[in-house]
Chain A
Amino acid sequence: MVLNIALLTGLVLFSALAVLARDLIKSAISLAVSSLLLGIVFFRMNAPFAGVFEISVVAGLITVLFILTIALTKSEGEVGESKAALWAFPIFFVVFIVIDALVMKGLMNKVPALPGAAESGAFGDVLWKQRTFDLIGQLAVILAGVFAVLALFRKRDNDNE
């Protein structure tokens, strides 16, 4: 439990660093580290498939996409964030965490346990047999993403002609 709390604290701290870091590359790397910590938390919750996806896809692929975008847009110069936003973050964060802790403490023993049937079988059975409709939606989303990226980059070619 102590290790889990340490991992989750690191996750929150690296996410905060990703939002606050001045250098965009450092932000992207912090985001990757926080994904890695989240993946380890998933492994410790007995969810190996979600952990593998989190580490390989979110920490790997999305970081590569972010760094590629940062490299492609680097020539346009940096955007100065307002100093007030950076200075106000610790105050906001402490107030938010205190409110969060008070709400969670208030909810202790008040949230009723939802009825849940014990699961059996393997992950594949649940994914392919119970969530079939989700998978159709997922295919649609992937196709939509592919066509959106194609359309966005085709538009730029037309502009150049």
Chain B
Amino acid sequence: MNSTWLLYMFFAVGLIGIGIYALLTMKNLIKLFIGIEVIGKGVSLALLATGFAKGNILLAQSLVVTFIVVEVCMVATALALIINITKHTKSLDVRKLTKLRG
């Protein structure tokens, strides 16, 4: 693998780091979900960069397209869940979701 691949990987890992920070520190449900989206961007960049470095760009593209479609389904379901949770708890705060706490 060459240095171009490592450069793309550097940025992909940076994106994943930002997403993990958001997941660890934020309290707003929508912000948490934006963190998950940022992690997804990092993963698709890593997938396509690896395909680009290996010369398998078509296979990497088809994987990224699959990933994007799955991501859209995940977003639709998760946002519907967030709307329902907000109607239930009257707040976007993730700390209010304590009914399942033992």
Contacts and interface: CB of A to CB of B under 8 A. Distances in A.
Interface string A60-94: 01100110111011001111111001001100110
Contact of B10 (A79, A100, A141): A100
Tell me the dominant secondary structure on chain B's binding face. helix
A7 B92 CA distance: 33
B73 A142 contact: yes
A135 B14 CA distance: 30
Tell me the dominant secondary structure on chain A's binding face. helix
Contact of A127 (B55, B65, B80, B92): B65
A126 B59 contact: yes
A73 B82 contact: yes
Interface of A: 1, 5, 8-9, 11-12, 15-16, 18-19, 24, 27-28, 31, 34-35, 38, 41-42, 45-47, 49-50, 53-54, 57-58, 61-62, 65-66, 68-70, 72-73, 76-82, 85, 88-89, 92-93, 96-97, 100-101, 103-104, 107-108, 111-114, 116, 118-119, 121-123, 126-127, 130-131, 134-135, 137-138, 141-142, 144-145, 148-149, 152-153, 155-156
B98 interface: no
A11 B15 contact: yes
A70 B30 contact: yes
Interface of B: 1, 3-11, 13-15, 17-19, 21-22, 25-28, 30-31, 34-35, 37-38, 41, 44-45, 48-49, 51-52, 54-66, 68-77, 79-84, 86-87, 90-93
A142 B69 contact: yes
A69 B74 contact: no
Nearest to B51: A47
